[in-house]
Amino acid sequence: MSIRADLAQIPLYAPPTLEGLSLDLRDNVNLWGAPPSALASLQSASAALLRDYPRVSASALTSALATQLDIAPAQIVAGCGSDDVLDACIRALATDGATLAHADPSFSMVPTFARLNRVTPIAVPLRADGAMDIDGLLATRAPIIYVCSPNNPTGTATSRAELLRLFDEAPGIVVLDEAYAEFTDAHDLRRAAAERENVLVTRTFSKAWGLAGLRVGYGVGGVDLVAAVTKARGPYKVNAAAEAAATAALTHDEAWMRDVAQQTRIQRDRLAAALRGRVGVSVWASEGNFVFVSLQRSAVELAARFRTRGIGVRAFTGLTGIGDALRIGAARPAETDRVIAALDEVFA
Secondary element (H or E) of residue 313: none
What does the per-residue mask of binding to ligand PMP show for 6-45, with x meaning CB under 6 A?
----------------------x-----------------
Instruction: Return the residue of 62, 75, 82, 230 that touches ligand PMP, per CB under 6 A.
Output: 82
Closest residue to ligand PMP, judged by C-beta, is 81
Using rule CB under 6 A, residue 81 touches ligand PMP: yes
Classify strands 323-329 and 120-125 as parallel, antiparallel or unpaired: unpaired
Of residues 152 through 171, those in contact with ligand PMP by CB under 6 A are 152
* Spatial distance between the Cα atoms of 109 and 13, rounded to a whole number of angstroms: 8
DSSP states along 227-243: HHHHHHH-S--S-HHHH
Question: Judged by CB under 6 A, how many residues of this single chain contact ligand PMP?
Answer: 13
Q: Choose the stretch contacting ligand PMP; rule: CB under 6 A; options: 17-25, 78-86, 185-193, 337-345.
A: 78-86
DSSP states along 139-173: HTT-SEEEEESSPTTT-PPPPHHHHHHHHHH-SSE
Strand order in the sheet with 120-125: 76-79, 217-221, 199-204, 173-177, 144-148, 99-104, 120-125
DSSP states along 82-104: HHHHHHHHHHHT--TT-EEEEEE
Residue 3 burial (CB count, 10 A)? 7
Contacts of 334 (CB under 8 A, 6+ apart): none
Q: Choose the stretch contacting ligand PMP; rule: CB under 6 A; options: 77-85, 238-246, 265-273, 315-323.
A: 77-85
Q: State the minimum distance, in angstroms, from the CB of residue 148 to ligand PMP.
A: 5
Of 107 and 306, nearer to ligand PMP (C-beta) is: 107
Using rule CB under 6 A, residue 113 touches ligand PMP: no
Q: Choose the stretch contacting ligand PMP; rule: CB under 6 A; options: 79-87, 190-198, 245-253, 335-343.
A: 79-87
Of 178 and 346, nearer to ligand PMP (C-beta) is: 178
Enter the DSSP assignment of 296: S
Report yes or no: 261 and 287 within 8 Å, Cβ to Cβ. no
Instruction: Return the residue of 179, 181, 272, 311 that touches ligand PMP, per CB under 6 A.
Output: 179
Using rule CB under 6 A, residue 212 touches ligand PMP: yes
Q: State the minimum distance, in angstroms, from the CB of residue 57 to ligand PMP.
A: 17
Classify strands 120-125 and 99-104 as parallel, antiparallel or unpaired: parallel
Using rule CB under 6 A, residue 178 touches ligand PMP: no
Q: State the minimum distance, in angstroms, from the CB of residue 3 to ligand PMP.
A: 25
List residues near ligand PMP by CB under 6 A. 28, 81-83, 107, 148, 152, 177, 179, 204, 206, 212, 217
